[in-house]
Amino acid sequence: MNWFLRNWDQVAVALGEHLVIAGSALAIAFVISLAIGIAAARSQRVFDAAMAISGLLYTIPTLAFLALLIPVVGLGKANAIICMVAFSLMILVRNIATGIREVPAEITDAARGMGMSAAEILWRIELPLALPVIVAGLRIAAVTVISVTVVAAYVNAGGLGTIIFNGIASDHPPKIISGAVAACLLAIAVDTSLAALERQLKSRHASG
Amino acid sequence: MLIDAWRYILAHPDRFGDALWRHVTLSAAALAIAATIAIPLGIWLAGQARLALVVINATNLGRTLPSLAVLALTMPFLGTGFVPSLFALTLLALPPILINTYTAIRQVDPDVIDAARGMGMTQREITRRVVVPLAVPVIAAGVRIASIQVISGAVLAAYIGGGGLGDFITAGIAMMQLPLLLVGAVPATLLAIGADFLMGRVQRSLRPRGIA
């Protein structure tokens, strides 16, 4: 606890770095997944192929994935972000595609009857109605990405993992505990706030 | 580079074999302990509505904790080596198995249970011969998720002296020897994909006959 009180600024900087890396990975993953997810919602074959490939990527152990990327992109943030994007694809694509598919056909039929174009139906009807399911996916992906970022400190990406690794290297338990507890609290905070958002979106839908 | 990695394995079969064996035993032991605790606990919790709410919510939070943070946190308390790694990996394997077991039991159709009661089955018989067999595929799915997490976590165990294939990766990164890095990374990846495939087969074969 003393170490933390003396070095809280160091932890705060690492926390900020952690959020930036995890946030940018999530943003990139979301844009890619939105494109694949929309295509997968329309075609079962695209859905099956996307699930098979992204499921395989999801199975690869984090540290092994980061290591396999070193010969290709070297050490640093790019390595970490590619790895995180690959890990989030399965969850995001699955939830985006499922969310769009669950929109009742009567609603899209009615929208078409009102003269809406396919693009209008997608942006103004399907995606807004799919939002709770999409946010649920975003929540799981966010937690995954935060967890991967901890490990990514080992390939010099920065973040809270740096404090943990420095603590392990110098055999300094207070440092290890500060880094690890901060990472755990961050994951819990992000998970609970996105869960709250998810509930709010669901109740808004339920009330019309 | 892959050829160099392959040469390294051929030149040091003992070292590679030990690391692989350590990785498999560490993962399998963690998974076995977690399943032994979480499956009976999940079945029992399914009948305790109020307590279950607390435990399942706590377990859901436990699921969000970063693997490396959990491993790192055991070190100041339990030290380094096999046992602390086993402890941390068991903790990581518990949530998916517990949540899937609980959900699986709760999902069983109440009509099926009523029918079993109508046939004169006791509560014990209903649990053992109706509810659990129907729940097994979902429980197996939980074990499958946990096994992937444990194999992935076992790579990280190298940091707290747990050994396994992660040792080659950390040494490879430290010395910037790319072939050495692949000696750890490629087999670890194949191990995870292989385990996922195998557990998928087990999961399908456990589906009770006659149930769609």
Per-10-residue mean pLDDT, chain B, length 212:
85 90 95 96 90 91 92 91 94 95 91 91 89 90 94 93 92 89 93 94 81 52
Per the domain annotation, does B212 fall within a domain? no
Residues in contact with B177: Cβ distance below 8 Å, sequence separation at least 6, in sequence order: B171
How many other CB atoms are found less than 10 A from the CB of residue A82? Answer: 17
How many other CB atoms are found less than 10 A from the CB of residue B32? Answer: 13
- Please indicate if any CB of chain A lies within 8 Å of the CB of B24: no
- Cβ contact, residue pair B64, A150, below 8 Å: no
- Cβ contact, residue pair A188, B61, below 8 Å: yes
pLDDT for res A3 = 83
pLDDT for res B210 = 62
From chain A, the residues in CB contact with B161 under 8 A are: none
Per the domain annotation, does B171 fall within a domain? yes
From chain A, the residues in CB contact with B99 under 8 A are: none
Q: How far apart are CA B199 and CA B196, in angstroms?
A: 5
Structural contact between residues A96 and A34, judged by C-beta atoms closer than 8 angstroms: yes
Q: Determine the average pLDDT of the residues in A30-37.
A: 96
Give the model's confidence band at A8: pLDDT under 50 very low, under 70 low, under 90 confident, else very high.
confident
pLDDT for res B65 = 93
List of domains in chain A: 15-159 (1.10.3720.10)
Per the domain annotation, does B211 fall within a domain? no
pLDDT for res A128 = 92
* Residue B143: Cβ-neighbour burial (10 angstroms; 0-12, 13-18, 19+): buried
Q: How far apart are CA A32 and CA A14, in angstroms?
A: 27
How many domains in chain B? 1
From chain A, the residues in CB contact with B194 under 8 A are: none
pLDDT for res B212 = 47
pLDDT for res B176 = 86
Give the model's confidence band at A121: pLDDT under 50 very low, under 70 low, under 90 confident, else very high.
very high
**Does residue A205 have a pLDDT over 80?**
no
Q: Determine the average pLDDT of the residues in A5-26.
A: 92
**Does residue A181 have a pLDDT over 80?**
yes
Q: Give residue B106's identity as a one-letter amino acid code.
A: R
Per the domain annotation, does B50 fall within a domain? yes
pLDDT for res B189 = 95
- Cβ contact, residue pair A147, B66, below 8 Å: yes
Closest CA to B23 of B143, B158, B140: B158
- Cβ contact, residue pair B173, A154, below 8 Å: yes
How many residues are given for chain A?
A: 208
pLDDT for res A68 = 92
Q: How far apart are CA A3 and CA A175, in angstroms?
A: 7
Structural contact between residues B183 and B12, judged by C-beta atoms closer than 8 angstroms: no
- Most A CBs within 10 A among B64, B155, B181, hence the mutation to make, goes to B64
- Please indicate if any CB of chain A lies within 8 Å of the CB of B3: no
- Cβ contact, residue pair B72, A60, below 8 Å: no
B118 lies in which domain range? 2-205
Residue B13: which CATH number? 1.10.3720.10
Structural contact between residues B38 and B101, judged by C-beta atoms closer than 8 angstroms: yes
Per the domain annotation, does B210 fall within a domain? no
- Most B CBs within 10 A among A11, A21, A59, hence the mutation to make, goes to A59
